[in-house]
Amino acid sequence: MAMAAFRREGRRFGPLVSSPRPINAIRSTLAPAEGQVGLGVRSISTQIVRNRMKSVKNIQKITKAMKMVAASKLRAIQVRAENSRGLWQPFTALLGDTPSVTVKKNVIVTISSDKGLCGGINSTSVKISRALFKINSGPDTECKYVVLGEKAKAQLVRDSKSHIELTMTELQKNFLNYTQVSVIADDILKNVEYDALRIVFNKFQSVVSFLPTTATVLSPEVVERESEAGGKIGSLDAYEIEGGETKSEVLQNLAEFQFSCVMFNGVLENACSEQGARMSAMDSSSRNAGDMLDRLTLTYNRSFFHLSLFPSLSLSLSLSITHTQAKPHTQD
């Protein structure tokens, strides 16, 4: 096939053999001048492709490292998140969880992360918080935000800055424990007036899935009112109260302890969902970088083949034609 190609090219450049400088003429015909590319020819610098391949490899290394870090953090938080679920379940059995209760003062506590690169986990919490705000807002009701995490704060400040009552960031800078979360819950209770606290977080299900969840904590007055009215909360008079505390004091302590337990579980569940989402996102990024690297390698090989084949082809063709021209002719 190569010899057939040479013969075809020889017939193509046959008229150039009689020129006084055949080699230069053939080279000028085969290779375009610098800065010019022949019509229909696509070329790319191999140096540009090599630089791009190097940057993609570096990005792939970073995403793989972030995936391993997220996997190690996930294993550490998952056990604690599952164990914390037993804290708020007795309160749900006693006081119930009534998201449809109608009160005048609603406070939406949105739990999010401080860092990104974890998919749409933070956007989901913000969307649910905005939906709850629209549902519970009205002429006779008041609704406020309490934001935990930098990502939810950055999104809610755009359109609801005047409704944000309190913001807290860098929750995961230190090791998450009940003492730290109880201090945060105490600050919220001291600085915010509420009839119902609606905690929005993402409940961890698996590495690739999480469930947006809303937990409702009612104030002691609302709990006592709903209990006496025989509404969604069962009668609390069936339980005996030991000690000298009154029923209002007991309900006050129960409401504060319930809020701290729900907050502790919500922060751990959201942190666990964050690491799982980041692990999945970094895995997808690593695969995309691998696919891009394969395409760049193919482009580089084609460019290298184009640049290495045609100069040798033109040189071989030039030498072949020169040899044919210099061959002596015999006359019969």
**Phi, psi dihedrals of residue 235, rounded to the nearest 5°:** -70, 125
Q: What pLDDT, on the 0 to 100 scale, is given for residue 134?
A: 92
Q: What pLDDT, on the 0 to 100 scale, is given for residue 188?
A: 92
Comparing 60 with 300, the larger pLDDT belongs to 60
Least confident of 40-44, 264-268, 301-305: 40-44
User: Residue 299: which pLDDT band, with cuts at 50, 70 and 90?
Assistant: confident
Least confident of 108-112, 264-268, 307-311: 307-311
Please give the Cα distance from 322 to 54 (Å, whole number): 43
User: Residue 16: which pLDDT band, with cuts at 50, 70 and 90?
Assistant: very low
Nearest partner of 171 among 250, 244, 264, 59, judged by Cα: 264
Q: Any idea which residue has 């990104």 for tokens?
A: 116
Mean pLDDT confidence for 140-162? 91
Nearest partner of 223 among 253, 191, 193, judged by Cα: 253
- pLDDT of 35 over the 50 cut: no
**Which stretches within the chain are classed as H helix?**
2-12, 22-30, 46-95, 121-136, 150-160, 178-191, 220-229, 247-326
Q: How many CB atoms lie within 10 A of CB 21?
A: 10
Mean pLDDT of the chain: 78
Q: What pLDDT, on the 0 to 100 scale, is given for residue 231?
A: 57
Residue pLDDT, tens place only, 193-209 = 999 999 999 999 888 88
CA angle 284, 44, 41 (to 5 degrees): 120
Nearest partner of 262 among 201, 212, 209, 207, judged by Cα: 201
- How much of the chain exceeds pLDDT 70, in percent? 73
- How much of the chain exceeds pLDDT 90, in percent? 34
Residues 227 and 235 sit within 8 Å (Cβ to Cβ) = yes
Mean pLDDT confidence for 296-310? 73
Comparing 165 with 11, the larger pLDDT belongs to 165
Residues 88 and 101 sit within 8 Å (Cβ to Cβ) = no
User: Residue 147: which pLDDT band, with cuts at 50, 70 and 90?
Assistant: very high
Residue pLDDT, tens place only, 231-251 = 556 556 667 777 667 777 888
